[in-house]
Amino acid sequence: MKTRSPYFYLLIFLFLNVLNFIDRNILFAFGNEIKADFNLTNTQWGLVSGIVFLFFYATCSIFIGALGDRLSRTKIIAIGLLLWSSMTALTGMAKNVSLLFLSRAFIGVGESSLTPSAMSMLSDVFPREKRGMAGGIYYFGIPLGVGLGFLIQATLGPIFGWRKIFIGLGVIGALVSIFIYFLTEPIRGEIDGKQNQEKSSSLKDSLKDTYKAITSSKSLFFVILAGTLNNIPIGVGSFDSIWAVQERGFTAVEYNSLFGLYFIIGGGIGTIVGGYLSDLLGNKLKGGPMHFLFYSYLIMTPIIILYRIVPPDSIWFYISLFFISINISFFYGAVFSTIQNLTSTKIRGTVIGLWVLSVNIFGIALGAFLTGFFADNIFNNYQEPLTITMIVMGGFGVLAMICYYLAGIWYREDLAKVNKDIN
């Protein structure tokens, strides 16, 4: 199938990202059932919901991103989709912990194919001044996928059970992969007027050029570091449903219905509005999109902190949950437009893959593991160990704000260097 419309590609990749995050996060929605079925401790749950998946997802992202800079990106996505869908179905059939861990690992391998190639192609069809918006819409797939996953648990879980739902999702993804395999990808760098002029000759060249780009650009370095720190508190989210049931008195269905609805609405606002405003205001601020993020988080953070403190019968519990939903996906448009703007076309997939590796291994995976470990071993004598742990882990978000500000200091200077190299 051929098309020249950038919005066609955007909608296709948005749909894939929704499916991606349903398959990835529905495990969290069924956390109470799966944790009980396999008799997992908090630490084991932190491993299966975090590190096991994210290690393979993040490690493969940089290599598959580099391959996407040289090979067919649509076919890479299609093969990855088939793999992760098959493994989602296998998760539903797992009878022991080993098979559960194995299927989660290969879901990570498959899903690593999507974002580096998709974001690279979106930068081929959208001009620089619209990339924040495009990235925001693409990452609307996160709140929509996560929210739908929790709503699926709340509505269909009691009817079909978690195993049949996992198998059904796997079948759907496998069928979609056939369509994606035959999708024609856009011309590399066409929107920037470079077409195929810049092209890495080998994986080694891609990695070498990526290292050079990051070490020579302070702004790019701090963007990657900020994203990593920002995702440590996000990794805590794998315990949200468990926390709500154990320490806030919700049933799994009650909380997942609430969280799913809030996440779709608030997360949708966060991704789309965040991406749009990063284009609009980021171009006007001296520090670009990164200073836009800094000032935005400066406003939202005090409200977000209340979520772990106030009781669920307080109106502030629901207000702060709404802002958390906005916050989780608010930064994607600004971050990815900045990464794309600060890198050349020949290494965009590789740099995005490196960012994915960093934020998932040292961000989300570390956050999930430390939450389980601290709850089991450090704060286990407290009445609400998960609550205390989650509050402590939220402190990494403040460090991320500082790094966003630092990234903005050198943004204009580093952007000028990239433009000079291109011209």
| pLDDT tens-digit map of 45-78 | 877 777 788 788 878 877 777 777 778 889 999 9
CA-to-CA distance for 321 and 412, rounded, in angstroms? Answer: 35
pLDDT at 167 over 90: yes
What pLDDT does 203 receive? 63
What pLDDT does 153 receive? 86
What pLDDT does 191 receive? 65
pLDDT at 3 over 60: no
Q: Mind listing the pLDDT tens digit for each residue in 224-238?
A: 999 899 889 888 887
What pLDDT does 422 receive? 52
Q: Mind listing the pLDDT tens digit for each residue in 396-414?
A: 989 999 999 999 999 888 8
**Domain definitions of the chain by residue range:** 6-186+201-422
Q: Mind listing the pLDDT tens digit for each residue in 118-140?
A: 888 888 888 877 777 787 788 88
pLDDT at 204 over 80: no
pLDDT at 199 over 70: no
Report the CATH architecture of 6-186+201-422: Up-down Bundle (1.20)
What pLDDT does 195 receive? 46
HEC assignment per residue over the chain: CCCCCHHHHHHHHHHHHHHHHHHHHHHHHCHHHHHHHCCCCHHHHHHHHHHHHHHHHHHHHHHHHHHHCCCCHHHHHHHHHHHHHHHHHHHHHCCCHHHHHHHHHHHHHHHCCHHHHHHHHHHHHCCHHHHHHHHHHHCCHHHHHHHHHHHHHHHCHHHHCHHHHHHHHHHHHHHHHHHHHCCCCCCCCHHHCCCCCCCCCCHHHHHHHHHHHHHHCHHHHHHHHHHHHHHHHHHHHHHHHHHHHHHCCCCHHHHHHHHHHHHHHHHHHHHHHHHHHHHHHHCCCCCHHHHHHHHHHHHHHHHHHHHHCCCCCCHHHHHHHHHHHHHHHHCHHHHHHHHHHCCCHHHHHHHHHHHHHHHHHHHHHHHHHHHHHHHHHHCCCCCCHHHHHHHHHCCHHHHHHHHHHHHHHCHHHHHHHHHHHHC
| Paired tokens of 100 | 């559960």
- pTM of the model as a whole: 0.71
Backbone CA torsion sign across 307, 312, 313, 315: positive
Report the chain's mean pLDDT, rounded to a whole number.
Answer: 84
Q: What mean pLDDT do residues 321-347 have?
A: 82
Q: What mean pLDDT do residues 304-323 have?
A: 90
What pLDDT does 355 receive? 83
What pLDDT does 1 receive? 44
- Between 106 and 347, the higher pLDDT residue: 106
Q: What mean pLDDT do residues 338-342 have?
A: 83
What pLDDT does 87 receive? 93
pLDDT at 197 over 70: no
225-239 burial, b if ≥16 CB within 10 A, otherwise e?
bbbbbbbbbbbbbbb
Contacts of the segment 285-288: beta carbons below 8 A, 24+ positions apart? 285/408, 286/408, 286/412, 287/405, 287/407, 287/408, 287/409, 287/411, 287/412, 288/338, 288/408, 288/411, 288/412, 288/415
pLDDT at 196 over 50: no
Least confident of 185-189, 199-203, 290-294, 330-334: 199-203
| Paired tokens of 199 | 């092209």
- pLDDT tier at 239 (50, 70, 90 boundaries)? confident
What pLDDT does 4 receive? 62
